[in-house]
Chains A and B, each alone.
Chain A
Amino acid sequence: MESYALELIEKGKRIDDREFDEFRKIEILPNIIKKAEGSAMVKFGETKVIAGVKMELATPFPDTPDEGMLVVNAEFTPLASPDFEAGPPGEDATELARIVDRGIRESESIELNKLCIESGEKVWGTFIDIHIINHRGNLLDCSALASFVALLHTKIPKLEDNKIVRGEYERALPIVHKPINITVCKVSDKFLLDPTFEEEKILDSRLSICLREDDKICSLQKQGSKEFTLEDVERMIDIAMKKSKEIRKLVEQH
């Protein structure tokens, strides 16, 4: 299967007949978990990811006493793929969570300074948990999108005597920027987006690029064990810029 996918790519085709810069069908289902303060399931074809946001009271870091906290965690649950095993997050899950975290944090998407309750003592912590439900490739872009949509729908709970009243809400989580993560993959001399599971196995390398609505780059991560050139990087960024606008538009409809 993999060698067939490669053969096709070299001929300019893909295993499911998509264009190289075409995503599978994207489905965005916000608010699917009622117990969470914000949530979303995002599907890229058969790839399915749920992101849930819980808002909890937290103590701020000493060097940012007036800022809310952001924590991103990912679980590659064993139900999602025969390759995943139960247990604490492994290397790939840890990397994925940290890339999603950087995209949201560095884009300054959440106004963290509006999440302060008592300076130096108490702030809101935004905890994003990513659960992979079905792994058919491109987990990173799917997880980043699910996390961002979940944030857009997150509400801050009401406080009474400094205690959280679950199920009653004060206001929406202040979101001011819109980061979209696009992973551009390189196979021989071709660039493609949204790889399937089979295509992922034959990739030379990929670059995950997180972009804001003003085209500012907020995070980059090279993945895969083959090298690429400076010219490749420039081309990959152009491809990601174009696609990120398209996906951001899609998010705005939800």
Chain B
Amino acid sequence: MVKTDEKLIVDGKRVDGRALNELRKIEMTVDIVDRADGSAQVSFGNTIAVVAAYGPRELYPRFLQEVDTGILRCRYNMAPFAVDERKHPGPSRRSTELSKVIRLSLEPAIFLEDFPKATIDVFIEIVQADGSTRVTGINGASLALALAGVPMRDLVTACSVGKVDGELVIDLNGIEDNNSDADVAFAMLPNKEKITLLQMDGLLTKEELMKLLNMAKETCKEIYKLQTKVLRQKYEVV
């Protein structure tokens, strides 16, 4: 947590030179974990998430199996070196909650009912954190699942939006996140335009919130283009 009294937006420009509605540089690389059924690395500026998907595979111990559906398990984890002050390794209250909301954000996209007694496992490692880590993880998770050949209704695309120095912005970086008036984590099924993740904290009027959610929707559509592009490239006949 770094708090600052400095202005984060001057003349419509943000600390990293971006416009209010400008994304950071996004990179998506697929197949970076050879052992996994599907994997991807996604970076939004300095935030880097490595994601691997395994399955569908048989779930053990057997008493965890569901007879009429498969289950999805997610683990969001942050590396100790991902932040300024070393993060204590292992699960925290934060990572427990984020693992849950990430799982719920992905579930609506997957045909889990086609895989009774099975599990699909998604592992998200945040190796460098500079804001918007959970949504970066979700974008990677959705790619990893698609690459693992898991049948999906749609991809899941996520982004953050928020209010910084009184202005509504997209894709918050770390310093903006820590000093924001409000921040929103958002994920949707881009073709169905359905929301699968919505978390907000801070202070917003209803009008500001609705404006932000519309910005988030448009931003997700941009990110979706990048996701489909990287998937298409992989399967293109050379």
Q: Once bound together, how far apart are the Cα atoms of A218 and B224, in whole Å?
A: 29
Is A39 positioned at the interface, with any CB of B under 8 Å from its CB? no
**Chain A residues whose C-beta falls within 8 Å of the C-beta of B1 in the assembled complex:** 61, 63
**Chain B residues whose C-beta falls within 8 Å of the C-beta of A232 in the assembled complex:** 195
| Interface Cβ pair total, 8 Å cutoff | 99
**Chain B residues whose C-beta falls within 8 Å of the C-beta of A102 in the assembled complex:** 201
Contact call B217/A227, Cβ cutoff below 8 A: no
Contact call B194/A224, Cβ cutoff below 8 A: no
Q: Once bound together, how far apart are the Cα atoms of A83 and B99, in whole Å?
A: 21
What 1/0 mask marks residues of chain B from 127 to 149 whose CB sits below 8 Å from any chain A CB? 00000000000000000000000
Contact call A221/B194, Cβ cutoff below 8 A: no
Contact call B3/A221, Cβ cutoff below 8 A: no
**Chain A residues whose C-beta falls within 8 Å of the C-beta of B195 in the assembled complex:** 222, 227-230, 232-233
| Contact among B94, B108, B206, B214 with A217 in the assembled complex (CB-CB below 8 Å) | B206
| Contact among B94, B199, B206 with A221 in the assembled complex (CB-CB below 8 Å) | B199
Contact call A222/B205, Cβ cutoff below 8 A: no
Contact call B104/A223, Cβ cutoff below 8 A: yes
Interface size class on chain A is 35 or more
Contacts A227-B108, A234-B210 supplied; 20 other A-B pairs, CB < 8 Å: A91-B99, A94-B93, A98-B93, A106-B203, A217-B204, A218-B203, A219-B201, A220-B199, A220-B200, A221-B198, A221-B200, A222-B195, A222-B197, A222-B198, A226-B108, A228-B195, A229-B195, A230-B193, A230-B213, A234-B206
Contacts A227-B108, A237-B209 given; indicate if A63 touches B3 (C-beta within 8 A).
yes
Chain A: which residue is nearest B192 at the CB level? Answer: A227
Contact call A215/B184, Cβ cutoff below 8 A: no
How near does chain A come to B158, taking the closest CB pair, in angstroms? 12
**Chain B residues whose C-beta falls within 8 Å of the C-beta of A216 in the assembled complex:** 203-205
Is B96 positioned at the interface, with any CB of A under 8 Å from its CB? yes
How near does chain B come to A102, taking the closest CB pair, in angstroms? 5
**Chain A residues whose C-beta falls within 8 Å of the C-beta of B188 in the assembled complex:** 227
Q: Once bound together, how far apart are the Cα atoms of A94 and B192, in whole Å?
A: 31
How near does chain A come to B209, taking the closest CB pair, in angstroms? 6
Contact call B189/A227, Cβ cutoff below 8 A: yes
The 7 residue pairs across chains A and B that have the minimum distance between CB atoms: A227-B194, A220-B200, A222-B198, A225-B107, A63-B3, A227-B108, A94-B96
Q: Once bound together, how far apart are the Cα atoms of A233 and B204, in whole Å?
A: 14
How near does chain A come to B226, taking the closest CB pair, in angstroms? 22
**Secondary structure at chain A's binding surface: helix, strand, loop or mixed?**
mixed
Is B229 positioned at the interface, with any CB of A under 8 Å from its CB? no
How near does chain B come to A225, taking the closest CB pair, in angstroms? 4
Q: Once bound together, how far apart are the Cα atoms of A178 and B213, in whole Å?
A: 25
Residues of A within 8 A of B (CB): 61, 63-64, 89, 91-92, 94-95, 97-98, 102, 105-108, 207, 212, 215-230, 232-234, 237, 241
How near does chain B come to A207, taking the closest CB pair, in angstroms? 7
| Contact among A97, A221, A224 with B93 in the assembled complex (CB-CB below 8 Å) | A97
Is B237 positioned at the interface, with any CB of A under 8 Å from its CB? no
**Chain B residues whose C-beta falls within 8 Å of the C-beta of A220 in the assembled complex:** 184, 198-201, 209
Contacts A216-B205, A217-B205, A227-B108 given; indicate if A91 touches B100 (C-beta within 8 A).
yes
How near does chain B come to A121, taking the closest CB pair, in angstroms? 18
Is B47 positioned at the interface, with any CB of A under 8 Å from its CB? no
How near does chain B come to A93, taking the closest CB pair, in angstroms? 9
Could you jot down 30 A-B contacts, CB within 8 Å?
A: A91-B96, A94-B93, A97-B93, A102-B201, A106-B182, A107-B203, A207-B198, A217-B203, A217-B209, A218-B203, A219-B201, A220-B199, A220-B200, A220-B201, A221-B199, A222-B101, A223-B104, A224-B104, A225-B107, A227-B188, A227-B189, A230-B193, A230-B210, A230-B213, A232-B195, A233-B198, A233-B213, A234-B210, A237-B206, A237-B209
